[in-house]
Amino acid sequence: MTDTDKLATQTLERAQIFSPELHFKSLSISLSLYLIATWCSMAGMEIFGWLTFALSMSYAFRTRLGASKVSATHSGQRLSLGEMVSEVLPWKLMIFWYVVVILGVFFPGTPADEKLHIFGSHRWMLLLIANSFALSLCPPKLKAYRVFLAFTGIVAVYAIFQSFTGIDLLRMHDANPHRAVQFLDVRKDIQLWRSAGLFGSPMGYVYIAGIHSCLALAVALVFPSEHSRLRRWSLFVFVLIAASLVTTYVRGGWFSIAVAVLVMTWLANRKFFLWAIGMGAGAFTVLFVSLVQFRERFMSLLDPKYASNSERMGLWKMNLRIFLDHPIFGIGWEMNEVRACEYVNCQAIPKPFTGHAHNNYLQALSGLGITGFTAYLAFIGFFLWATYRLWKRLPENLYWARALTLAALGAQIHLHLGGLTECNWKAGATNHNIMIALAIVTSLIYLEKKGALRSL
């Protein structure tokens, strides 16, 4: 140990205000609050996400110096942030991706007030590292899962309530109380709204709640018949969340969660796979025949004259032109939004439909060029493959670890398929949730390497 390390160790040991025991307890509480916030509050995600980051990074520094008297171990193995990053996370790829992003700061045409934003745009990488280490130290427990079930079930019921009433309790006193819960103007005799849950956006809710539904389904699929009560409640909450996803009327979300469910059931239980196909087909038929709003939204999928479709097509064409003009490193991350009027005659169009690409892949392609796009595909491909391999390796009697793994795989499929029609990767609340899913995978792989999974 160097003199600097010894001095730092002595300083930490003398600091009685924030003892090692209190430090670890604070990290555990902050992480728990962060996980709860991912179910309901963007503000909570930011506050407790970065508090968890600060506590986990400082705890890693503390334990590296040997100053902690709290056992940060599992099965006698000390956990190390550096070891976890180097052995599990694709850190070289992440650094390369970030370097490509930073290059955009120096591109001509990048506004000065956007440069700081570009530097911070990929701060999710820091959250991924911190969350992975924090979840290695404080893995999610089955006991806490019951709280998750109750909370997400209530949120799903609230979202369905929004669809039939148009009431958004969080925005009742706004100038436009329906700005989040949008009215479906299809038939005057049947009034329905697009539910937004607690996140103020049908698009945000469909991908966040879809991620949550994967955990409820995974527990129902993985746990054996001895846990029949847990399985029934999990399946019930999954059905509630699935119903609430229908009431968002987000077509890309419908498609992506359907594929995620089919993949999950195929991997876990082939009989349940057939049941899922049958029940899904039955539910689709009932909705298609009895609910005109559902039928018209579904039938609009291939209608080029439908406003949502034509606007997306215009954005996709614009982003392809941006990529062709800047093929190697792109125009700069999110500069496709800032510089849209260079590709769209904004003066000739009263309200031009601009903004992000409404497609994760085109967003990366136009913003980061083929270089950053390749890094993006490599990153998401790494985690999909790592999650699948972990699922195949885990012993069948590690029910909770297998459920978490299967849920994380379903969450990734849901997000990446939904990313074909929506730029959901960069959406703040959705990004926090998917980082938790990736961090769970990282922590499980690391604990597996340390021989500590049976302690979950």
Answer yes or no: is pLDDT of 29 > 80: yes
Give the 3-state secondary structure of residue 318.
helix
Answer yes or no: is pLDDT of 64 > 80: no
Tell which wins on pLDDT, 338 or 57.
57
Give the pLDDT confidence score for residue 288 in this predicted structure: 86
Answer yes or no: is pLDDT of 351 > 60: no
The model's pTM is 0.91
DSSP 302: G
Query: Smallest Cα–Cα separation from 339: which of 314, 313, 319?
Result: 319
Give the whole-angstrom CA distance, residue 303 versus residue 280. 24
Angle at the Cα of 181 from the Cα atoms of 285 and 162, rounded to 5 degrees = 65
Give the pLDDT confidence score for residue 178 in this predicted structure: 65
Give the whole-angstrom CA distance, residue 310 versus residue 306. 6
Query: Smallest Cα–Cα separation from 48: which of 64, 31, 65?
Result: 31
Give the pLDDT confidence score for residue 70 in this predicted structure: 43
Give me the chain's average pLDDT, please: 88
pLDDT (mean) for 247-263: 95
Give the 3-state secondary structure of residue 117.
helix
Give the whole-angstrom CA distance, residue 196 versus residue 268. 31
pLDDT tens for residues 210-252? 999 999 999 999 999 999 999 999 999 999 999 999 999 999 9
Among 330-334, 381-385, 408-412, which is the least confidently predicted range? 330-334
Give the whole-angstrom CA distance, residue 115 versus residue 36. 33
Angle, nearest 10°, between helix axes 428-449 and 124-137? 40
What is the separation of C-alpha 209 from the centre of its chain, rounded to a whole number of angstroms? 10
Tell which wins on pLDDT, 198 or 71.
198
Answer yes or no: is pLDDT of 303 > 80: no
Tell which wins on pLDDT, 147 or 10.
147
Bridge partners (DSSP) of residue 184 are 192
| H-helix segments, 360-427 | 360-393, 399-418
